[in-house]
Amino acid sequence: MWNQDCSQSSIGTSSCKAAPSKKAHLEIFPCTVSQLLAADKLTNDCFTICDCELNQVSIVGIIRGFAPFVTNVQYSVDDMTGSPLNVKLWVNTEDYPPMIITSPGTYVKVIGSLRSCSGQRSLLAMTLRRVKDPNEISSHMLEVVQAHMQLFRKVFDVNMNATVVPQPEGSSGMHPRGFLPNGLSTVQGQVLHVIKMFSVHDEGISFHDLGTKLDYINVRDIRSSLAFLINEGHIFSTIDEHHFKAA
């Protein structure tokens, strides 16, 4: 947990002066714990991923432990991608004891700023809320994949292994709400992207191969995305109803 000797840091964004960096495309950048632990540190309040300056970040994980203090509550949040991350949430002392999440094993979503104190990295939380819908856990991972694909021009699998892929001409960043500039959701965009990669073949790509390439996406979500893309004219079936090409 955080060292109590560490002074309180404001939640406001600090500017990186140690080295040049570029701003992230998203105001709130979805990340995994392992990425935050591995991020390059310019100052105690400024971190970068591939020269991209981090402002606010979001993680989704499970509470492994907590420690309440008079002015703050400190959590250990684990998303199973690395060691648990320390999260510090300041509370309103006028309403103490506040309504806080105190159940280990509870999934939460945290939005905040990465900090470093005495060599230990922690997340200074702006908000911390309980995850009520289990789909939000997988949805967050999809947002992580999509955000990094747009930023680094790479496709990531569920283990965040990357392969470089060409980006469409005029491609821009992901919409903060999780939709691409063409109005597709993150899942629909990834399904369409894979189909485009295999559209050089006369028969396109089979549903089985599509599911293999997108094994981190629920099969039901892939089917619904295919139905949407066909109805919108983005893709069409070829030799049978189980093979697809981009229009």
pLDDT in tens, 144-193: 887 777 665 544 444 445 444 444 443 434 443 344 445 677 788 888 88
Which of 193 and 18 is assigned the larger pLDDT? 193
The SS3 of residue 81 is coil
Distant-in-sequence contacts of 136-140, Cβ < 8 A, 24+ apart: 136/60, 136/109, 137/60, 137/107, 138/218, 139/178, 140/30, 140/58, 140/59, 140/60, 140/109
- Answer yes or no: are the C-beta atoms of 59 and 81 closer than 8 Å: no
What does the pLDDT read at residue 11?
A: 38
Tell me the pLDDT tens digit for each residue of 95-148.
555 556 767 888 999 999 999 888 889 999 988 989 988 888 888 888 888 777
What does the pLDDT read at residue 99?
A: 58
Domain boundaries, the chain: 22-133, 136-246
In this prediction, residues 209-216 reach a mean pLDDT of 84
- Answer yes or no: are the C-beta atoms of 45 and 57 closer than 8 Å: no
Taking alpha carbons only, the member of 216, 214, 234, 218 closest to residue 168 is 234
Distance from C-alpha of 37 to C-alpha of 120, rounded to nearest angstrom? 9
97 preceded by a cis bond (ω within 30 of 0):
yes
Taking alpha carbons only, the member of 124, 123, 120, 70 closest to residue 98 is 70
Distance from C-alpha of 102 to C-alpha of 165, rounded to nearest angstrom? 43
Q: Which CATH number fits domain 136-246: 2.120.10.30, 1.10.10.10, 3.20.20.70, 3.40.50.720?
A: 1.10.10.10
Residue with tokens 């939000």: 136
Distance from C-alpha of 155 to C-alpha of 146, rounded to nearest angstrom? 8
Please report, to the nearest 10 degrees, the dihedral formed by the alpha carbons of residues 215, 30, 156, 227 taken in order.
40
DSSP one-letter code for 230: H
Indicate if the pLDDT at residue 75 is higher than 90.
yes
Task: Tell the CATH topology of 22-133.
Answer: OB fold (Dihydrolipoamide Acetyltransferase, E2P) (2.40.50)
Token pair listed for 88: 């510090």
Helices (H) and strands (E) in the chain, counts: 5, 15
Report percent pLDDT > 70 for the chain: 71
Tell me the pLDDT tens digit for each residue of 22-53.
444 457 888 899 889 888 887 767 888 766 78
Distance from C-alpha of 204 to C-alpha of 196, rounded to nearest angstrom? 8
